[in-house]
Each structure stands twice: as structure tokens, then as C-alpha cells.
Amino acid sequence: MGRVALVGAGPGHPDLLTMRAARLLGEADVIVYDRLVGPQILELARPRAQRIYVGKSTANHVLPQKEISALLVRLALDGKRVVRLKGGDPFIFGRGAEEIEMLAVHGIPFEVVPGITAAAGIAAYAGIPLTHRDIAHSVTLVTGHLQDETADLDWPALARPGQTLVVYMGLLGLPVICRELVAHGMPATTAAAVVQHGTLPTQRVITGTLADLAERTADARLVAPTLIIIGEVVRLCGTLDWFQPDVISEVAAAWPESRPVIA
Ligand SMILES: C[S@@+](CC[C@H](N)C(=O)[O-])C[C@H]1O[C@@H](n2cnc3c(N)ncnc32)[C@H](O)[C@@H]1O
């Protein structure tokens, strides 16, 4: 019997991996990884380790979720030490629970290694504190992957003052998100930002307000992955944006767009 480690790879920069993640990567027989895991992180695996890409993009579902879970079970029953590597933290919009549920059903030993979630990593690298004693007392993480345009989110709660909203997977829905927040009472002057490729050399931060962020973002032609941060804390990035993307230009910029599945 092998074992599976469900490992968070952090937001992109390899130095943001946990030590536990790096150690397990160096010991694994097989790495099963997603689109948001950069090539430099995979280099920490043993050269002989098998690498299996199961990533998804909006348009291109490489391997359905059930098959990913079945693959993990099969590999572990084969006696392999498997690292299931996912971007950010596996339990935050990562479907990590679904994958380990199947392992539990089959009695396969597993562990979960937390990662720096996009909200924490990207806010730090964009110079945007998610909470601030004078400005925001809570943070809400939501998915912007809207099923029917507006109905999915609790807009009245999200529009309340004194908080910061972080929207994952929200680029396509950005105009709707800004419009609904304003319609539910958030001032159109509220500061907001979209961050592309946070923590990587290709990081770009577009700031604005709920009134103009969607237009500014469209003009900037940002590409996924992007994270939206909404709240007055965004104004602080003018003075706190310490990160100069070029300083770490040794880190490969490319996100693996699509890779063959080696099952
Ligand atoms: C399926 S969710 C996975 C989130 C992940 N489990 C985490 O904890 O960060 C993918 C979304 O995370 C956000 N994201 C992840 N890494 C990012 C990065 N480096 N820059 C900007 N957004 C990122 C984007 O909104 C992307 O669409």
C-alpha cells in the first residue's frame, strides 16, 4: 500500500512552498499536478519521479474530477508514494476534500499539507493588507465563477462596509460583480484591484474603483490566473507595493498552458 499527500503548492513562486511540501516532493514516486503549479516547483521532484498533468482550464477539461480521484487510488494501491500537488491551498476552492474522500473510502493513508492560498500570497506581493485595524475587520473569500450571472452570491452580505472581499476565478464575471455590489449598496468609489500572476515575474496589478475596474482590466488585457481584491485596503498598495517583479526574473514566467496526460 502506498500513500497520498494532498499538497498545497502556494500561489506560484517556488520559495512560497512549505518545507513539508518540498520534502514530500523530493520523496515522491509520482506527482499528480494541476495547471497552476509552475515548472520550477516540479523541479523539486526526483528526476525519476513520474509526473502526471491533470490540470484544467475553463475551456479544456483534461481529466474529470472523479477520474483524478480514481487515479490517486490506483497509484496508491500500486504501492506508490503519491504527491497530489494543487495550486494555493488544497482546501480553498481546490476540491481537495473530494479527492481525499475517495482515498478514505478505500482505506488509503493520506495527509494534507496546507499551502499559501492565493488571497494571502497575492495580497502580500501586491502590498494590499487584507485586514487593517482602521479599515477592514474581516475578509471574505468567494468564487466569482457565477453559475447564472448573479444568483449565486449573497450580495447584501458582500456589500457591507468594513470588510475586504477576495474573489477567486472572477475575471470573466468582473463587470457583474462590480455592478451587483454597487446595486446592493457598496459605494461605486470603493477601491478594488485585479492582480494577474501574483507572486511571479509576470505579476501585474490593476487598481481602480467599482465604477471603472472592469473597463481598466479589459484595457490592460490581463490573462488568467487573476485575483480580485475589493475594499478600501486596496488604496494602501500605492505605498506598500514592495515587490518588483523583475527582481526575481530567474523564476520562469510561463504557466503550463496544457500538457499531455501521462496516466
Ligand atoms: C481553482 S482556484 C484554486 C485556488 C487555490 N486552491 C488557492 O488556495 O489559492 C484558482 C484561482 O485562484 C486564483 N489564483 C491562484 N493563483 C493565482 C496567482 N498566482 N495569481 C492570481 N490569481 C491566482 C485565481 O483566481 C484562479 O482562478
Query: Please, which residues bridge with residue 190 across strands?
Result: none
34 is catalytic: yes
Sign for the CA dihedral angle at 48, 25, 203, 173 comes to positive
Q: Is 114 in the pocket of ligand 1 (CB under 6 A)?
A: no
Residues 193-245 pLDDT 10s: 999 999 999 999 999 999 999 999 999 999 999 999 999 999 999 999 999 88
Probe ligand 1: pick from 56, 86, 168, max atoms within 8 Å of CB? 168
How far apart (Å, rounded) are the C-alpha atoms in residues 186 and 244? 32
Residue nearest to atom 21 of ligand 1 (CA): 226
Residue 187, preceding peptide bond in cis (omega within 30° of 0): no
- Pairwise pLDDT comparison (258 vs 182), residue with the higher score: 182
Nearest one of 35, 7, 44, 52 to 197, comparing CA atoms = 35
* pLDDT value of residue 152: 80
Q: Is 226 in the pocket of ligand 1 (CB under 6 A)?
A: yes
Q: What is the pLDDT of residues 46-67, one digit of tens each?
A: 999 999 999 865 456 667 888 9
How long is the chain? Answer: 263
Higher-confidence position of 134 and 255 = 134
Q: Is 66 an annotated catalytic residue?
A: no
Cross-strand bridge partners of residue 166: 141, 229
Instruction: Check 15, 29, 34, 219 and give the catalytic one.
Output: 34
Ligand 1 within 6 A of CB of 34: no
According to the model, what pLDDT value does residue 57 have?
58
Judged by DSSP in three states, 20 sits in: helix
Q: What is the pLDDT of residue 255?
A: 44
Q: Which three cell numbers stand for residue 246?
A: 523583475
pLDDT tens digits for range 112-145: 999 999 999 999 999 999 999 999 999 999 999 8
**Is residue 263 pLDDT above 80, yes or no?**
no
